[in-house]
Amino acid sequence: MQEFYASAIRQTEGALCDELREGGFKSVRLNRGGIPFRGEWSEGWRACLQSRIAQRILVLMGRSPVTTADQLYDATRAIDWTPYLTSEQTLSVSCVAVGSTLTHSGFIALRVKDAVVDQVRDLEGDRPSIDKDDPDVRVFVYLANDKASFYLDMSGQPLHMRGYRARSGEAPLRESLAAAILRMSGWDRQSALIDPMCGSGTLAIEAALWASGMAPGLARDRFGFERWASHGEKEALEVRALRGALRAEVTGQKPAIVAADIDSGVLDIARANAKIAGIKLAIREQSVLNLQADGVARTLVTNPPYGRRLETDSNFPDQLGTVIRRLHGWRVAILSGIDAYEKAIHLPPKHKIPLVNGDVDCHLLIYEIE
């Protein structure tokens, strides 16, 4: 049994925890920053392939109390890294340190790197080289309250990089944040959904992929763990079988999903991204201000503009508020980076969930319009 850690964007831990439990992962625990779970190695592979909300999947290699640089070096060397890393491969080490005697994360990463490469050199007579951008093996060290946890990153590229977003409009949502928002919105994955300010289409594309049961990692050629020395033919066959099993689980369920925006240029981008993702969306050029309830109970999930764009049109939140209030029977989820939207809607949100979009503190406002 391995202990894994699925890292999350701040405030999406609850959604990630739900997702992993629903996916049948074991010993899933709600925790700040990310979600630990346990299982065979194949469960780590499956999480890389299946999770829509995790940023990365890490596997724990060891834990040790550490207060000095020498202890850090010895604790790193006490772990056997040589099954994963040879002198012909590349390595990177990064670190987060909080509340500990050793404070400098760059220095900690350097000592850990020294210990790992020394271990490989003692065995093989040669050292692996360092590649910070695209290493074969990534080591993460988390030092909290003088206790070091050493992880290997299984993902490689962060999991939110699904590969379908060739281009993006202004302020695109990270795909994993969009997936978390959809889960938090309470959408049932069957009823009609619209993003009337879709930009590059992230929410609508994630919604279509989620509804169809398409594991997001199926679109990716290779994960970090597939570059480890330990990943041989037997493992490659097992991963291929796992991919096949996940492909067989695709239901192909296609609820009506509409992606609309006022900007025709950005809709071309959304259309191209949806094509790469292999899904069909109904794409409409229209202003959200022309949206009408049509007797169908729909879910609206969107991320309206904020900042500079709004300064030119300060009436927009009030106009949008009027539109939202007339969407009788709809469920509405708005990721808002400014207070003006909540004020303008004039209804108490059913839920108001703090979230962070890039460096902007936001709230996800959820309404059930009567």
Ligand X SMILES: C[S@@+](CC[C@H](N)C(=O)[O-])C[C@H]1O[C@@H](n2cnc3c(N)ncnc32)[C@H](O)[C@@H]1O
Residue 334 C-beta: closest distance to ligand X, Å: 11
Q: Which amino acid, residue 65? A: P
Q: Where are the beta strands (DSSP E) in 157-305?
A: 193-195, 257-261, 282-285, 299-302
Residue 272 C-beta: closest distance to ligand X, Å: 13
Question: Tokens 């099954």 label which residue?
Answer: 83
When binding is defined by CB under 6 A, the residue of 199, 217, 317, 349 that contacts ligand X is: 199
Residue 274 C-beta: closest distance to ligand X, Å: 12
CB-wise, 148 or 182, nearer to ligand X? 182
Q: How big is the CA angle at 297 (ends 324 and 271), to the nearest 5 degrees?
A: 75
The CA R_g of the chain, rounded to the nearest whole Å, is 23
Based on the shown chain and the rule CB under 6 A, indicate whether residue 96 belongs to the binding site for ligand X.
no
- Span of 7-15, 91-99, 224-232, 281-289 interacting with ligand X by CB under 6 A: 281-289
Residue 266 C-beta: closest distance to ligand X, Å: 5
For residues 358 and 288, what is the distance between their CA atoms, to the nearest angstrom?
Answer: 24
When binding is defined by CB under 6 A, the residue of 131, 263, 318, 368 that contacts ligand X is: 263
When binding is defined by CB under 6 A, the residue of 130, 144, 289, 296 that contacts ligand X is: 289
Q: Say if CB 128 and CB 89 are below 8 A apart.
A: yes
Q: Which amino acid, residue 207? A: A
- Span of 34-42, 99-107, 110-118, 256-264 interacting with ligand X by CB under 6 A: 256-264
Based on the shown chain and the rule CB under 6 A, indicate whether residue 360 belongs to the binding site for ligand X.
no
Tokens of 165: 């977003």
Based on the shown chain and the rule CB under 6 A, indicate whether residue 13 belongs to the binding site for ligand X.
no
How does strand 331-336 pair with strand 360-368?
antiparallel
Based on the shown chain and the rule CB under 6 A, indicate whether residue 216 belongs to the binding site for ligand X.
no
226-258 b/e with 16+ CB inside 10 Å = b?
A: bbbbebeeebeeebeebbeebeeeeeeeebebb
For residues 86 and 128, what is the distance between their CA atoms, to the nearest angstrom?
Answer: 6
- Span of 91-99, 140-148, 261-269, 345-353 interacting with ligand X by CB under 6 A: 261-269
Based on the shown chain and the rule CB under 6 A, indicate whether residue 303 belongs to the binding site for ligand X.
yes
The conformation of residue 121, written as its DSSP 8-state character, comes to H
Q: What residue ranges bind ligand X (CB under 6 A)?
A: 168-173, 196-197, 199-200, 202-203, 261-263, 266, 287-289, 303-305
